[in-house]
Each structure stands twice: as structure tokens, then as C-alpha cells.
Amino acid sequence: MLRFSESVSFDARLARFDIAGSKAHLAMLAHVGLISRAERDAIHGGLEDILKEIEAGTFAWRTQLEDVHMNIEQALTARVPAAARLHTARSRNDQVATDMRLWFKHATADLEARVRGAQRALLSLAERDGEVLIPGYTHLQRAQPVVLAHHLFAWMEMLDRDAARLAEVRAQANWCPLGSGAIAGTTLPIDREFTARALGFVDSRGRAQVTQNSMDTVADRDLFIGFAAACATAGVHFSRIAEDLILWSSVEFGFVDLPDAFCTGSSLMPQKKNPDSCELLRGKSARLQGNLHTLLTLAKGLPLTYNRDLQEDKPPVFDSHDQTAICLDVLAGTLAGMTVKRDRCAAAVADPGLLATDLADYLVIRGVPFREAHHAVGAVVKLAERSGVALNALETAAVQQVHPKFGDDWRGVFDLRRAMQLRRGTGMPGPVQVRRQLARWRRVLRAAKA
């Protein structure tokens, strides 16, 4: 049963938050006169000593004491007898809720910084190779040309939403549970706002934020679900970025060369270079989704309020944090080290068929209704296929026979630079917009550093 019920093997990592919570609670107890100043100072000193030992790795964790809370409290009371008063007006239920809210505030900030790291790698790549033209794909069929920066900035947007989701979880975490007790608060005259302020659970104007219902406070696990959902969504993004890179690095596409340090060879086939970092990014995303599912299932149908089932809430969120963190670092490294194979990209984007839509737009400018233009260009594409020539190599007379509105300048459509320049609107891959987006991301990432 000991081995079954212990959580110290995984919640010991909460120690510094647990000790911070105890210090704040302690200060509050002295503030309202439930303990003396001398007792407060003695207990505070004992907590500091224990924290030092934990950080030095010399603290003796004991499985028999179940969890991080009991381990610290028992060690403390053995040294400082007055610590028997520390648990006044507190339960492990509001204690663990507090530890985890502090942890979520830390973990979301940590992941956000790593998201910014991956975004910085994307920005550098866009600055270096952003103007390279590649085909954009729908249905994994070549669709329309885009500059590489535009594709990279699509990934940038995905990662930016991940940062925003993490920030949202952090805002939701910013409410102090202490004082909720086991379920129904306490009869003792505590000051919840004092404790909240001491722990930094305050709004932008420094006002204390305390949770508003003691039962909900000890039963609620929404933050766990929200955090795991933010990580799982980020994982979906990692897997989609990874999949693009896996395709791009194949011989069939050949758009990029991935850095050797993030790839492996085959033990059997000497010519192989496998995109391991990308495949693992894709694989880890399954695990991040699994963690979310574990938490949803864990909380579902539990009667209010605390149930021991909830001890199982920590391994999934710790794992989601750790895996998301390393995914972001590996993604940043893979992006930073890859090279763009410019001639392969140029060859892939050279197919004039990619500009068939632009040719229809050409007719639209000449007054042809789009449906009719689409039909005419379809006929021109078929004609090129039947004649075995590239779309832009057809005779002008043959094209004009399909539709009289094709002028002598119809071939000008196939100039890729012109095609890009015409894409001027917000959100489009034209050079004006790409420059704007470059400036925007430089600004965002500079602000994120500050």
C-alpha cells in the first residue's frame, strides 16, 4: 500500500513551491496572532534550511511519509518543535492546490520562453532564406507558389497561439487557494488576502486574488486540463511542422537538408539519413494528447470535493511540461541547423501550372466572369497537356482560340516575381506583406525578451 499510495516520487519536484506556500502561510499566522513572532522566525529558518538541503540533494526523502507535504513538515517539526503549529488552518487539500497553482505559473512562463526560442529560430530562417520560392500545397498537391517566409510565418502564428494559450492558463492560475482548508475553510480568524499577496497571487494593480468557493477550490482540476490542452495543442502544431519538414527533407521533395545532429543513419542502409527529431516531435504529440485525455477521464464523474484519485493529476501535467519543453528546444535546434536547397526549390516552383489561377485572374481583369475564366484556363491547361508542352509554351494563337480575351501579353502572368508582387493584401505572400510580417515578428520577439 505504501508503494501504491506514495506520491513523493513525483511530487518532490513541488518542494520549492510547497516551502514558499508554507512561508506565506506562516507569515499570515503570525500577522493575525495565531503564532508568535519568535515561533514564526524559528519555523521560517527551519524551512530555509530544508530548502537548501533539497536543492543540494542531501535531503532524505522518505516514501513512508507519502508526499512532499508530509516529508517537509515532519523534517521541519523534528528540527523546530514549534512547527507543530504550521498546519493551523490548513489542509493538504488547499496546500497541494496552492503548490500546483504556483507551479503552473512557473511552468507556463518557462514554456512561453521556449516557444519564443523556437519562434526566434523561425525568424532567423526567414531572414536568411525567406525569399526562396516554393510550391504551397493543398491535398499535398502543388497548388500555388509562396515564398518560404510565408510558410514559416504560418508556423509562427501557430506557435504564437500556443504562447497565448499558456498565458491564459497562467492568468487562471493566479488565484490563491490557501484558507479553503480541507473543504469548508476554518473557524480560525485567518487573513486570506495577506497570504495571497505574500505569494504573488495579485492582479495588475497589486490587489489580492483569492479563490471564491472553498469546495470548488479543493475539487477543481480545470487548470490541469487547461495546461495539458495547451500542451496537446502545441503538440499538434509540432507534429504538423515536423511532417512538413519530413516531406521537405525527403529525396522526393529535396527542399531542405536537416542538421546531422538531429538525424540518424540506418544501422543497415549506409545511404540513409533519417529525420529523427521530426519523427519524434510527431510521436511525442501523441503522448501530449494522452496526458490531456488522462486528466479529463480522471476528473470526470468525481463527487465533490477532494478524492484521492486526484493525486494522479500530477504525473500527466509534469510529463506534458517536460515533453513540451524539450520538443520546443529540439524544434528550435532543427530549424536553426537546417539548410535550404535553393536549386531544388527553384525547380519545384518552376512549373507554370502553379500560376493557372493567376491566368484566370488575368482574364477577370479583362472583364471575364471568374467561372468562365476558370473554365477557359482549364481548357488551356488540357491543351498544354495534350500537346506535351509547358503551359506557358503554347502558341498565343492557340490560347486566343480558347478565349478571345487572352492578349499578346498573356505569358507575362508566368513571371513569378510579378505573381508575388500582385499579392499585396494583408495576410498574402507578396513582398510588401512579408516585410511587414518580418517587422512584426521582430517586434513581438524583442518585446518577449524584455
| Cβ nearer to ligand ARG, comparing 167 with 183 | 183
| Binding-site member from 96, 121, 223, 295 for ligand ARG (CB under 6 A) | 96
SS3 label, residue 202: strand
CB atoms within 10 A of CB 355: 23
| Cβ nearer to ligand ARG, comparing 7 with 291 | 7
Q: How far is the CB of 92 from ligand ARG (least distance, A)?
A: 4
CB under 6 A: which stretch of 91-99, 184-192, 359-367, 393-401 binds ligand ARG?
91-99
CB atoms within 10 A of CB 378: 13
| Cβ nearer to ligand ARG, comparing 308 with 371 | 308
| Cβ nearer to ligand ARG, comparing 139 with 308 | 308
H/E stretch holding 340: strand 339-340
Instruction: Report the Cα–Cα distance between both ends of the chain, in Å, rounded.
Output: 49
SS3 label, residue 55: helix
Contact 227, 288 (CB under 8 A): no
Concatenated DSSP letters of 394-441: S-HHHHHHH-TT--TTGGGGG-HHHHHHT--STTS-SHHHHHHHHHHH
Q: Which residues are within 8 A (CB) of 133 and not within 5 positions of it... i.e. 6 or more apart?
A: 145, 146, 147, 148, 345, 346, 349, 416, 420
Count H helices, E strands: the chain? 18, 4
Q: Which of 5, 36, 250, 266 is labelled catalytic? A: 266
CB under 6 A: which stretch of 110-118, 251-259, 302-310, 316-324 binds ligand ARG?
302-310
| Cβ nearer to ligand ARG, comparing 304 with 439 | 304
Q: Which of 139, 249, 277, 285 is labelled catalytic? A: 139
Q: How far is the CB of 304 from ligand ARG (least distance, A)?
A: 14
Residue 92 near ligand ARG by CB under 6 A: yes
Count of residues engaged in binding ligand ARG, rule: CB under 6 A: 9
Residue 67 near ligand ARG by CB under 6 A: yes
**Which 8-state DSSP code applies to residue 391?**
G
Q: What are 120's three cell numbers?
A: 526566434
In Å, what is the CA distance from 213 to each residue of 184, 301, 305?
9, 20, 11
| Cβ nearer to ligand ARG, comparing 92 with 282 | 92
H/E stretch holding 136: strand 133-138
Residue 93 near ligand ARG by CB under 6 A: yes
| Whole-angstrom distance, CA of residue 273 vs CA of residue 250 | 9
- 220 φ, ψ (degrees, to nearest 5): -65, 130
Q: Can 139 be counted among the known catalytic residues?
A: yes
- 176 φ, ψ (degrees, to nearest 5): -85, 125
CB under 6 A: which stretch of 52-60, 88-96, 324-332, 357-365 binds ligand ARG?
88-96
Residue 217 near ligand ARG by CB under 6 A: no
| Whole-angstrom distance, CA of residue 164 vs CA of residue 149 | 22
Q: How far is the CB of 95 from ligand ARG (least distance, A)?
A: 7
| Binding-site member from 22, 217, 311, 323 for ligand ARG (CB under 6 A) | 311
Residue 306 near ligand ARG by CB under 6 A: yes
| Cβ nearer to ligand ARG, comparing 279 with 312 | 312
Residue 23 near ligand ARG by CB under 6 A: no
In Å, what is the CA distance from 345 to each residue of 46, 127, 148, 339, 416?
64, 17, 10, 12, 13
Residues that bind ligand ARG (CB under 6 A): 7, 67, 92-93, 96, 306, 308, 310-311
Active-site residue set: 139, 266
